[in-house]
Amino acid sequence: MATAARKAPAKSKSDGKSGLSAPKPAEFTKDEELAAYRHMLLIRRFEEKAGQLYGMGFIGGFCHLYIGQEAVVTGMKMALIDGDQMITAYRDHGHMLAMELSPRGVMAELTGRRGGLSRGKGGSMHMFSKEKHFYGGHGIVGAQVSLGTGLAFANRYRDNNNVSLTYFGDGAANQGQVYESFNMASLWKLPVIYIIENNRYAMGTSVSRSSAETDFSHRGASFKIPGIQVDGMDVRAVKAAGDLATEWCRAGNGPLILEMQTYRYRGHSMSDPAKYRSKEEVQKMRSEHDPIEQVKARLIEKKWATEDELKTVDKEVRDIVADAAEFAQNDAEPDPSELWTDIVL
Amino acid sequence: MPIEILMPALSPTMEEGNLSKWLKNEGDKVVAGDVIAEIETDKATMEVEAVDEGTLAKIVVPAGTEGVKVNAVIAVLAVEGEDTDKAGEGIGEEPAKADAAAPAPVAAKSEAAAPVAAAPKTEIAADPDIPAGTEMVSTTVREALRDAMAEEMRRDGDVFVMGEEVAEYQGAYKITQGLLQEFGPRRVVDTPITEHGFAGVGVGAAMAGLKPIVEFMTFNFAMQAIDQIINSAAKTLYMSGGQMGAPIVFRGPNGAAARVAAQHSQCYAAWYSHIPGLKVVMPYTAADAKGLLKAAIRDPNPIIFLENEILYGQSFDVPKLDDFVLPIGKARIHKQGKDVTIVSFGIGMTYAVKAEAELRGLGIDAEIIDLRTIRPLDLDTIIASVKKTNRLVVVEEGFPQSSVGDHIANQVSQRAFDFLDAPVITIAGKDVPMPYAANLEKLALPNVGEVIEAVKAVTYR
């Protein structure tokens, strides 16, 4: 299994009450493997470009890159139906691309231009799309957990069969309102999947230094919310967990926790030198568990794609990103009158 | 000595109550802990237990009596060996009704507990938003708020109310009374004690297009939730470039109640009025409470709706209209005048109204403006009045630094400096945490005398 090098490797785990355990990784078809490859690569290349534009001064403020964690949003998106919502914190570019928000719109928001998704007024951490059911993009650690629970409340109120995917990190998992939300979600049987992206570090503090219970799949135990640990570096494992979780919620069973064991290759934000971990640790993850390389290896091995065909995909993805970057650098800044719009309706 | 059983105070703001029922008759033996009567307070129907053992010698206040003052003698208990016939003699001629003069200790108590509770005497100027000739019905602020929510919930299936004790308990302050029975548990949602969490759940539901009314048992508890109110509710519309906002009402009692001390006595009008993206409403009369709460529920923005526990039980005329909605952001001239402008809002109005009545006796004709909305602030109405009277006093219960009055004084000095004949005086609560002791609490709040002195100062009397 891909997580063999970890201290606490993902394994089949049951909470003992729900009978739920981590499902086997999904069997992907050729088309699914290729789609997963393309989607993850788009996020990877997009984030690399964002890092580059940050270095050139086109992007300001905070910029949190998703590189390394691509399998989590990509696999979960494959389990959704139309109308399912997604909400996350500030490491959000990958989530937006997974929800099919326009790369141009996201990149132009990063550069603070009028063609950005929030017309240049939100920035990296604050983007939304009602049309695509993406509810942000939130800058306060943990706040999105209560908000995502509210999205699920609305689904329940409307009895519409949709599920709220509420993402947060191992750091946010120690915020009080997370547990207030767990309680209400379980009490009212709300259709919400709490996806804890455990990338092992809350900014510079490792899970073991910040958390009394480091198995985040158990964090719902006091609220009777079952949880499972998932290999978040394997998009097939994520997809299988996503199928299980969405089915669980749609059946009216209430919330579920998925602990995605993942890893971010870059620092917490662009200004983080990441001295709290060794280069070897990062290198080991990159070389042994990279989510994109795993898919690529399977595609080649099964002869579902040649190196050349994959290079064509790479080229197409690079073109999309280059186009987005070009647009984001050349689009005009917001009109000064925008300062005073969208404050109240 | 026979023991006098007194009308008990059963809530911080209770001054009087109704004696609904006697559960013991004259001549019955009672032991400590027996329930002897039921009393209806401003919040609930409560049982009264005996604290002494004896025989109920005389029922002084019969069942069904309304408006019985706290501390009035309601019955007499003869202790062992006493003659029950004689025990009640001479007691009961003393008036216990609210409209009669109450015994001295009662007066002292209610004055300290609720320094501004008496109904205003000033004739309220006609509101141009209410058609002339509309039938008026005397209604408490409590009923007006409940009616507003019920009407809007009938009108729009996306409106629901959530909060602590709003459903089965019928509201900690009875504001949501009857809503569960009419609308059911899907739309009247009891939450756990978890302000931060349920405020966020409410905002999330609003972002998904529902129209939540989130009740805070008091706004003091909303400090636990203030991040969700400000960072999530108020800013999302701007941060999303207008794509997504939060049509939500946060409502509940705000400010000092009576004798609940520092952590439960604080006015948040100035706090929330600081935040772009919020609207802040703080009504005084029942009509404004109803018309503005209906407007707030329909408004697509996050609204902070600040009520006051002491005002809940007060009655005002409310227009009998099928759909009475008032504009948010518009002040109301409560009383026309020419010599000085007194601006206030919420419970601050009670000081202004009382001061105005006394000032009339001194030959000073004051204009009173009730802001009703703190944000957006109706500065035009204030400035127009100041241009007429050339003098301004602002009255509020909140803390003095960075107060609503400070902001008004600043704006008036910038926009109408040449019209001022005296510096603007702002009256606020004292710059101290609210003390518990009755006398200190009274000192910490504004008072009518301060308003009168301020008016005298700006009119050079």
pLDDT tens digits, A196-219? 999 999 999 999 999 999 999 999
b/e per residue B50-77 (b: at least 16 CB within 10 A): beeebbbbbbbbeeebeebbbbbbbbbb
Tell me what the mean pLDDT of segment B421-430 comes to.
Answer: 98
- Range with the poorest average pLDDT among A185-194, A330-339, B84-93: B84-93
Asked whether the predicted pLDDT for residue A247 surpasses 90, the reply is: yes
Tell me what the mean pLDDT of segment B213-221 comes to.
Answer: 97
Tell me what the mean pLDDT of segment B322-343 comes to.
Answer: 97
Give the torsion sign (CA, A149, A152, A153, A154).
positive
ipTM over 0.85: yes
Contact A97, A109 (CB under 8 A): no
pLDDT at B13: 78
pLDDT tens digits, B444-460? 999 999 999 999 999 99
Asked whether the predicted pLDDT for residue B122 surpasses 70, the reply is: no
Residue A106: closest C-alpha in chain B? B240
Rounded CA-CA distance B420/B17 in Å is 47
pLDDT at B108: 38
Enter the DSSP assignment of B453: H
Rounded CA-CA distance B58/A92 in Å is 74
Tell me what the mean pLDDT of segment A227-241 comes to.
Answer: 97
Kindly determine whether residue A150 and residue B204, on different chains, have CB atoms separated by under 8 Å.
Answer: yes
Contact residues, chain B, for A143 at CB < 8 Å: 200, 227-228, 231-232
Backbone φ and ψ for B138, nearest 5 degrees, come out as: -70, 125
Q: Could you give the C-alpha distances from A323 to A93, A105, A327, in angstroms and in order?
A: 16, 11, 6
Tell me what the mean pLDDT of segment A13-39 comes to.
Answer: 85
Tell me what the mean pLDDT of segment A76-105 comes to.
Answer: 97
**Burial category of B172 from C-beta neighbours within 10 Å (exposed 0-12, middle 13-18, buried 19 and up):** buried
pLDDT tens digits, B334-371? 999 999 999 999 999 999 999 999 999 999 999 999 99
pLDDT tens digits, A268-319? 888 888 889 999 999 999 999 999 999 999 999 999 999 999 999 999 999 9
- Range with the poorest average pLDDT among A3-12, A61-70, A166-175, B114-123: A3-12
pLDDT band at B82 (very low <50, low <70, confident <90, very high): confident
Rounded CA-CA distance B150/B177 in Å is 10
Tell me what the mean pLDDT of segment A173-189 comes to.
Answer: 97
Minimal Cα–Cα distance from B246 to chain A, Å? 10
Contact A63, A110 (CB under 8 A): yes
Tell me what the mean pLDDT of segment A27-47 comes to.
Answer: 97
Contact A179, A207 (CB under 8 A): no
Rounded CA-CA distance B48/B46 in Å is 7
pLDDT band at B116 (very low <50, low <70, confident <90, very high): very low
Angle between helices A70-77 and A235-250 (to 10 degrees): 40
- Range with the poorest average pLDDT among A17-21, B19-23, B405-409: A17-21
Asked whether the predicted pLDDT for residue B71 surpasses 60, the reply is: yes
Asked whether the predicted pLDDT for residue B267 surpasses 80, the reply is: yes
Kindly determine whether residue B236 and residue A136, on different chains, have CB atoms separated by under 8 Å.
Answer: yes
pLDDT at B102: 40
Q: Which residue has the higher pLDDT, B390 or B260?
A: B390
Asked whether the predicted pLDDT for residue A14 surpasses 80, the reply is: no
Closest by CA to B427, choosing from B339, B377, B354, B334, is B354
Asked whether the predicted pLDDT for residue A18 surpasses 80, the reply is: no
pLDDT at B81: 76
pLDDT band at B90 (very low <50, low <70, confident <90, very high): low
Kindly determine whether residue A180 and residue B243, on different chains, have CB atoms separated by under 8 Å.
Answer: no
DSSP A140-160: STTHHHHHHHHHHHHHHHHT-
Asked whether the predicted pLDDT for residue A136 surpasses 60, the reply is: yes
Q: Which residue has the higher pLDDT, A325 or A18?
A: A325
Radius of gyration of chain A (CA): 19
Tell me what the mean pLDDT of segment B266-294 comes to.
Answer: 98
Contact B203, A145 (CB under 8 A): no
Tell me what the mean pLDDT of segment B79-84 comes to.
Answer: 77
How do beta strands B425-427 and B392-395 pair? Answer: parallel
Rounded CA-CA distance B296/B279 in Å is 9
Closest by CA to B374, choosing from B419, B411, B321, is B411
Kindly determine whether residue A146 and residue B244, on different chains, have CB atoms separated by under 8 Å.
Answer: no
Q: Could you give the C-alpha distances from B220 to B225, B264, B279, B293, B306, in angstroms and in order?
A: 10, 6, 18, 20, 11
pLDDT tens digits, B247-263? 999 999 999 988 889 99
Q: Which residues of B are catalytic?
A: 195, 264
Contact residues, chain A, for B275 at CB < 8 Å: none
Q: How many Cβ atoms are within 10 Å of A146's Cβ, its own excluded?
A: 30
Kindly determine whether residue B240 and residue A118, on different chains, have CB atoms separated by under 8 Å.
Answer: yes
DSSP B306-328: EE-HHHHT-EEEEE--SS----T
Asked whether the predicted pLDDT for residue A117 surpasses 70, the reply is: yes
pLDDT at B63: 92
Minimal Cα–Cα distance from A235 to chain B, Å? 29
Minimum-distance CB partner of B200 among A85, A116, A177 = A177
Asked whether the predicted pLDDT for residue B315 surpasses 90, the reply is: yes
Q: Which residues of A, range 90-129, sit inside 8 Å of B by Cβ?
A: 116-122, 126-129
Asked whether the predicted pLDDT for residue A2 surpasses 50, the reply is: no
In a mutational test of the B interface, the residue from A109, A129, A144, A146 whose CB has the highest number of chain B CBs within 10 Å is: A146
